[in-house]
Amino acid sequence: MSHPKRIFEDIYNQYIEKIFRFIFFRVNSQEKAEDISSEVFSRYWQQLKKGLKIENPSAFLYKVARNLVTDYYREKGRAQMVSLDNCPPEEINDPNSNIVQQAVLRSDFNTILSAMTNLKQDYQEIIIWRYLDELSIPEIAKMLNKSEGAIRVMLCRALKVLKNQLK
């Protein structure tokens, strides 16, 4: 069995940029994103020190990051609730839904960041996970404990809202 310190170093090196980026997009502050990222990995380290084996470090880290961001907004009194409506199935496979990738490729980072801050929390997260962190639909579904179909619908709706923000 690997030493906890070695496991931590490997996971930290593999995920720190992704976790930081995920948090930064949510809080829009480098200092706060650094603080929260540090806390995420501190909690991961505490679990390893206790001897707990974490089967899916990615899911654990994102869940902790998501919870800490939620706590951050709760403290500021700005927590948002999200409701899911129906999304027509034909829009789930919309060929124009790669607008995020197109904008990133055009280096419109500031445009996307600005538009993303106006999206609901769940929409921001799913877009970041899918297009920036390149997580698969099944990985996101597992992290959120939802069906793959529900994730596809949520992603469709998030992209639709983002498209409107970018227009």
pLDDT in tens, 69-85: 888 888 766 433 333 33
* Phi-psi region at 85: left, alpha or beta (left = phi > 0; alpha = psi -120 to 50): beta
Provide the percentage of residues in the chain whose pLDDT is more than 70. 78
C-alpha–C-alpha distance, residues 136 and 157, integer Å: 17
Q: Take residue 96 and report the two structure tokens written for it.
A: 């124009």
**Is it the case that residue 141 has pLDDT exceeding 70?**
yes
When pLDDT is averaged across residues 91-96 and rounded to a whole number, the result is: 43
Q: Which CATH class is domain 4-75?
A: mainly alpha
**Contact indicator for 60, 17 with CB cutoff of 8 Å:** no
Q: At a CB cut-off of 8 Å and minimum separation 6, what does 164 contact?
A: none
The pLDDT value given to residue 125: 86
Q: Of all helices (H) and strands (E), which one includes residue 116?
A: helix 109-116
The pLDDT value given to residue 102: 52
Mean of pLDDT over the chain:
79
The CATH homologous superfamily for domain 89-166 is PhyR, sigma-like (SL) domain (1.20.140.160)
DSSP 8-state symbol, 121: H
**Contact indicator for 65, 16 with CB cutoff of 8 Å:** no
**Is it the case that residue 142 has pLDDT exceeding 80?**
yes
Q: Among candidates 131, 72, 81, which has minimal Cα distance to 101? A: 131
C-alpha–C-alpha distance, residues 46 and 50, integer Å: 6
Q: Helix count (H) and strand count (E) of the chain?
A: 9, 0
In terms of pLDDT, which residue wins out, 86 or 146? 146
In terms of pLDDT, which residue wins out, 145 or 76? 145
Tell me whether residue 36 is exposed, middle or buried, using C-beta atoms within 10 angstroms of its C-beta: 0 to 12, 13 to 18, 19 or more. buried
In single-letter form, the type of residue at position 110 comes to N
Q: Take residue 116 and report the two structure tokens written for it.
A: 């993303």
When pLDDT is averaged across residues 122-143 and rounded to a whole number, the result is: 86
**Is it the case that residue 6 has pLDDT exceeding 70?**
yes
For 25-50, the pLDDT digits (tens) are 888 788 999 999 999 999 999 999 99
- Give the distance from CA 2 to its chain's centroid: 28
Instruction: Give residue limits of the domains in the chain.
Output: 4-75, 89-166
When pLDDT is averaged across residues 90-109 and rounded to a whole number, the result is: 49
